[in-house]
Amino acid sequence: MTLRKNHRIVGVLCACMFYLAAAGCATTSYNSTGEWQQPRTRDVPFQTVLVVAIVPDSNARRTFERTVAEAITDGGAIGIAAYSLSRQRAPELTREMVVAMAENTGADSVLVARVLDRATQVGKSQEETIFHAGPVTKVVQNEDATFTRALTTNYAIEVVPGSMVIKADAVLESSLYEPATGDKLVYRATTQGHFELGADYRVEEVAHRFALSLAKRLRSDQVIQ
């Protein structure tokens, strides 16, 4: 094979691989909106926030609570993940348990997040084509190991099969309560997310992205500093 022909093949394969990669990329987006539900009773952001996530997956719950709590702490306040205060592994906590946590930690606010709506669609990712520029040597051996041969070429193409992918949309509602006002709802945020779940995109990553979007909105609305 001439050098010119080889360059032409490489160019075509690279273009094809770029197209496949673009078609198979996971498109994700997260957006949060928020609104105060009660007249603000304080002029400064909340200083100690207890974060509670009501979600069916325990790993997602821990990731979400920890991410929001860390964002609050990074701003100079105190963020407390509810899972770190309780040994209960069930996704749901009773109202009495949350109230007790708030009292024991001295939290001036409680943020409760729950999944409001979700829709999923199961699909399969595009197979991946990998081009290996040569020389490439492949050793082939028969089943009883009595014959072995080596094949050498100046390039090789590897095809990686697609994997199962779940495309989903979810709406997360986060409600902020202030114990000093009798557990009244003072702020509410809605986070909408479009994401994919697969071998390279786990539920913990989704929870992390939801949490970051929410924390950004809370800071923008001066709920946290």
pLDDT-derived band at 125 (thresholds 50, 70, 90) equals low
The fold for domain 26-124+162-220 equals Rossmann fold (3.40.50)
CB atoms within 10 A of CB 177: 23
Best-predicted range by mean pLDDT among 36-50, 62-76, 135-149, 168-182? 62-76
Locate all alpha helices (DSSP H) within 92-150, ordered by sequence. 95-105
Residue 20 scores a pLDDT above 50: no
Residue 23 scores a pLDDT above 60: no
Residue 161 scores a pLDDT above 80: no
State residue 51 phi and psi, 5-degree precision.
-105, 125
**Strand 128-141 relative to strand 148-160: parallel, antiparallel, unpaired?**
antiparallel
The residue type of 50 is L
Domains in the chain: boundaries: 26-124+162-220, 129-160
- For the full predicted model, state whether its pTM sits above 0.85: no
Alpha-carbon distance of 127 to 13, in angstroms, equals 14
Strand partners, 30: 193
Residue-wise pLDDT tens digits, 99-113:
899 999 999 999 999
Residue 206 scores a pLDDT above 50: yes
Mean pLDDT of 156-183: 82
What percent of the chain has a predicted confidence (pLDDT) above 90?
42
Question: How many alpha carbons lie under 13 Å from residue 48 in its C-beta half-sphere?
Answer: 11
Alpha-carbon distance of 42 to 113, in angstroms, equals 22
Alpha-carbon distance of 213 to 225, in angstroms, equals 15
Residue-wise pLDDT tens digits, 44-87:
789 999 999 998 888 999 999 999 999 999 999 999 999 998 76
105 compared with 184, residue with greater pLDDT: 105
What Å distances lie between residue 158 and 13, 68, 77, 131, 179, CA to CA?
Answer: 12, 42, 52, 6, 60
